[in-house]
């Protein structure tokens, strides 16, 4: 490939990082994955597991080499805690691009208890800062691409379309009106979202002080499992989380439908959320890699989502196609019962993204995955039992509570 880049993918063993690594490798880039494998360790501790039988990282990489002839390197480093190993690797590779997926990524997990809250803050803030500081310390000029979330803005938009990062503010004074672009205000609803708000300031600082080229991708909730590359071989299969801590809503509904569990809608299901299919995630990453900001530019912020839906509309859709029952259960989260959400994604569309949407049949594919691996489903991992404050109640179906009592 003519413009092949050396790309470091932090968190490249995870749900979004793994298919991104394969996609960018297939496009001809030289890929190195850094991952501490902490997600696999957390799964083991929770007694949860990916529904799909993900193979070890070594087996995954060997299968990729066997199928495509392409090599992806792997380094087991904790970027939040192993700074010396990180700097050594960075000084060897001198990456053109660093894509940072390596954070604790579940809002529910971050609200489980004091240990999880502290871990999420320590891991996400420290890891992100170490990557930025190491690049500067070594005099490198990588394009730094970070995965944030649309959820960072809270879900109380008052009808405003969420812009891509910045909001023009007009301040009237006696003689003139002053105008400034400010970061669109965040309104985090969990410790996880709070860390995503906080790292935005790290990015502003390093872009200003050290002219680092930084892209912040504010992603919607990712659904689906497979991409063109992960489908090439069973050993390349992507992870599918359906448990209360890490499962995202649509994958959870599809799983519940397959195992005959009612679709657990929290509260009225009037929460509107932004979504993106995993295939579009990897395409967006390829687009972002090819379009870095210039040195000295402000942080480029793009909303990486393709559609919005209410939770109850999603449940209805899954129920119609599967015949599953819907159960409106208590909401274990401390959030507005109903909200609207409008999000601008003009930049990715203008850069050529052609979104895959829910209506286009990929739900069937995800459902087929859920059916194929039903035997691996651990049923008691499905209900949302941890609450975000003492005032919330678990999001479980009443009959299950009786059975568990």
Which residues of this protein are in contact with ligand NAD, per CB under 6 A? 10-11, 13-17, 34-39, 78-80, 101-103, 105, 123, 127, 147, 149, 219, 221-222, 248
Catalytic pick from 109, 153, 192, 373? 192
Q: Select 147 or 363, whichever has its Cβ closest to ligand NAD.
A: 147
Query: Which member of 109, 196, 215, 248 is catalytic?
Result: 196
Q: Between 222 and 382, name the residue whose CB sits nearer to ligand NAD.
A: 222
- How open is the CA angle 248-369-320, to the nearest 5 degrees? 70
Alpha-helix residue ranges (DSSP H) falling in 102-172: 107-110, 114-137
Pairing of β 263-266 and β 326-329: parallel
- Going by C-beta distance under 8 Å and a sequence separation of 6 or more, which residues neighbour residue 12? 18, 20, 21, 31, 33, 34, 35, 72, 74, 101
Q: Is 372 labeled as catalytic in the residue annotation?
A: no
Nearer to ligand NAD, 277 or 327 (CB): 277
Cβ closest to ligand NAD, residue 36 vs residue 331: 36
Do the bridges between strand 6-10 and strand 272-277 make them parallel or antiparallel, or are there none, so unpaired?
Answer: unpaired
- Structure token digits, residue 95: 């990456």
> Measured from the CB of residue 288, what is the shortest distance to ligand NAD in angstroms?
13
Helix (H) or strand (E) holding 287: helix 278-290
Output the DSSP codes for 39-106.
Answer: HHHHHHHHT---SS-PPPHHHHHHHHHHHHS--EEEE---TTT-HHHHHHHHHHH--SEEEE--S---
Contact between residue 100 and residue 131 where contact means Cβ atoms under 8 Å apart: yes
User: What span, in angstroms and rounded, lies between the C-alpha atoms of 18 and 39?
Assistant: 13
Name the residue with the smallest CB distance to ligand NAD.
Answer: 14
Residue closer to ligand NAD by CB (options 151, 269) is 151
Of 20, 32, 149, 272, the active-site residue reads 149
> Minimum CB separation from ligand NAD for residue 179, in Å?
31
Nearest distance, CB of residue 143 and ligand NAD, angstroms: 17
Q: Give yes or no: 294 in active site.
A: no
* 176 part of the active site: no
- Token reading at 402: 């009786």
Measured from the CB of residue 85, what is the shortest distance to ligand NAD in angstroms? 10
CB of 11 to ligand NAD, least distance (A): 3
Active site residues: 149, 192, 196
């Amino acid at each position: 490939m003519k413009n092949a880049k050396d790309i470091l993918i932090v968190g490249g063993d995870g749900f979004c990082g793994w298919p991104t690594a394969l996609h960018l490798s297939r496009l001809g880039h030289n890929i190195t994955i850094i991952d501490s494998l902490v997600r696999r360790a957390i799964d083991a501790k929770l007694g949860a597991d990916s529904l799909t039988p993900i193979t070890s990282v070594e087996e995954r990489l060997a299968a990729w080499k066997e199928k495509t002839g392409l090599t992806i390197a792997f380094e087991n480093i904790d970027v939040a805690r192993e700074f010396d190993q990180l700097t050594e690797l960075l000084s060897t590779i001198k990456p053109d691009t660093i894509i940072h997926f390596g954070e604790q990524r579940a809002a529910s997990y971050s609200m489980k208890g004091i240990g999880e809250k502290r871990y999420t803050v320590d891991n996400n803030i420290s890891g992100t800062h170490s990557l930025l500081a190491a690049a500067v310390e070594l005099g490198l000029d990588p394009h730094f691409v970070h995965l944030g979330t649309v959820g960072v803005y809270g879900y109380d938009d008052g009808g405003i379309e969420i812009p891509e990062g910045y909001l023009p503010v007009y301040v009237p004074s006696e003689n003139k009106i002053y105008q400034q672009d400010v970061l669109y205000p965040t309104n985090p609803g969990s410790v996880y979202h709070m860390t995503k708000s906080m790292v935005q300031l790290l990015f502003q600082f390093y872009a200003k002080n050290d002219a680092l080229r930084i892209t912040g991708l504010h992603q919607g909730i990712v659904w689906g499992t497979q991409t063109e590359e992960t489908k090439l071989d069973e050993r390349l299969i992507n992870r599918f989380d359906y448990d209360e801590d890490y499962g995202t809503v649509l994958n959870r509904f599809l799983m519940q439908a397959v195992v005959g569990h009612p679709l657990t809608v929290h509260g009225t299901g009037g929460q509107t959320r932004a979504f993106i299919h995993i295939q579009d995630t990897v395409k967006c990453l390829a687009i972002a890699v090819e379009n870095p900001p210039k040195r000295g530019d402000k942080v480029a912020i793009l909303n990486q989502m393709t559609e919005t839906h209410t939770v109850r509309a999603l449940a209805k859709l899954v129920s119609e196609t599967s015949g599953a029952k819907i159960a409106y259960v208590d909401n274990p989260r401390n959030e507005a019962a109903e909200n609207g959400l409008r999000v601008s994604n003009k930049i990715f569309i203008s850069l050529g993204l052609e979104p895959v949407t829910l209506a286009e049949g990929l739900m069937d594919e995800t459902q087929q995955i859920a059916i194929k691996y039903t035997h691996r489903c651990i049923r008691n991992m499905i209900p949302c039992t941890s609450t975000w404050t003492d005032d919330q109640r678990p999001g479980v179906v009443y009959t299950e509570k009786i059975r568990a009592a």
